[in-house]
Each structure stands twice: as C-alpha cells, then as structure tokens.
Amino acid sequence: MENLIYIQRTLGEIVTDDFRSAEIFKNAGIDFCCGGKKTLEQACDEKH
C-alpha cells in the first residue's frame, strides 16, 4: 500500500522529501524540476 501512495506523489514532493531521488530521476531522464508537478505515475507513463 505504501508504494501506491508514493506513486501518486508529485516528483517535486519526492525530491523535497529526499534529495537523493533527484539523481535517480536524472539517470532515468525524468524531469523533476519543470515537470515537478507531475506524479511519479504520470512521469513513468510518459517514459513508456
């Protein structure tokens, strides 16, 4: 259940809570700065 809640959070919230996630997003080519208002789920859907 915790993962479901996490995937519904925005990228900006995730990076704010744990700055180390920024490196993971960078490596995956996920824009967490300008695209920070997207949820993790939306960002992943766009990558596929």
Domain residue limits at 42 = 2-47
Looking at residue 5, its pLDDT comes to 78
Per residue of the chain (48 residues), what is the pLDDT tens digit?
566 678 899 999 999 999 999 999 999 999 999 988 999 999 999 887
Model pTM score? 0.82
Backbone angles phi, psi at 10, to 5 degrees: -75, 155
How many Cβ atoms from other residues are within 10 Å of residue 11's Cβ? Answer: 23
Residue 31's nearest CA partner among 48, 9, 46 is 46
Split into its structural domains, the chain has a count of 1
